[in-house]
Structure 1
Amino acid sequence: MARVTLDLPDKFTFITRMAVRVSDINYGNHLGNDRMVSLLHEARLRYLRKYDFGEFNVGGVGIMVTDIAVSFLQQSFVGDDLTFQVGITDFNKYGCDFIYMVTNESQDRVIATAKTGIVFYDYDERKITPVPPVFYERCAPDQVLAMEE
Structure 2
Amino acid sequence: MARIKIDMPDHYTFTTELPVRISDINYGGHLGNDAVLSMIHEARIRFLNYYHYTELDVEGAGIIMTDSAIVYRAEGFHGDMIQLDVTVGDFNKYGCDIYYVLSNKKTAAEIAHAKTGIVFFDYEERKVIPVPEGFKASMEKDA
Q: TM-score, normalised by structure 2?
A: 0.96
Matches within 5 A, 1:30-49: 30-49=30-49
CA contact (8 A) 2:13 2:142 kept: no
Q: Deviations over 1:15-43 (max 9, x none)?
A: 00000001111111111101110000000
What corresponds to 2:123 in structure 1?
Answer: 123
1:6 aligns with 2:44: no
CA distance in 1, matches of 2:141, 2:125: 28
Q: 1:142 to 1:106 in 2, by over 3 A?
A: closer
Superposed displacement of residue 91, structure 1: 0.3
- Matched residues, percent identical? 50
Q: Give the Cα separation in 2 of the matches to 1:141 and 1:80.
A: 33
Q: Which amino acid aligns with 2:57?
A: N
Instruction: Write the letter of the residue equivalent to 1:114.
Output: A
- Please report the RMSD computed on the Cα atoms of aligned residues, expressed in angstroms: 1.3
Query: 2:82 maps to which residue?
Result: 82
What are the residue-to-residue correspondences of 1:83-122 with 2, within 5 Å? 83-122=83-122
Number of equivalenced pairs: 143
SS in 2 for 1:134: helix
Q: Structure 1-normalised TM-score? A: 0.92
Q: Deviations over 1:52-111 (max 9, x none)?
A: 000000011100000000001111010000000011111000000001111003122100
Gaps of 5+ in 2: none
Q: Which runs of 5+ in 1 are unaligned?
A: 144-149
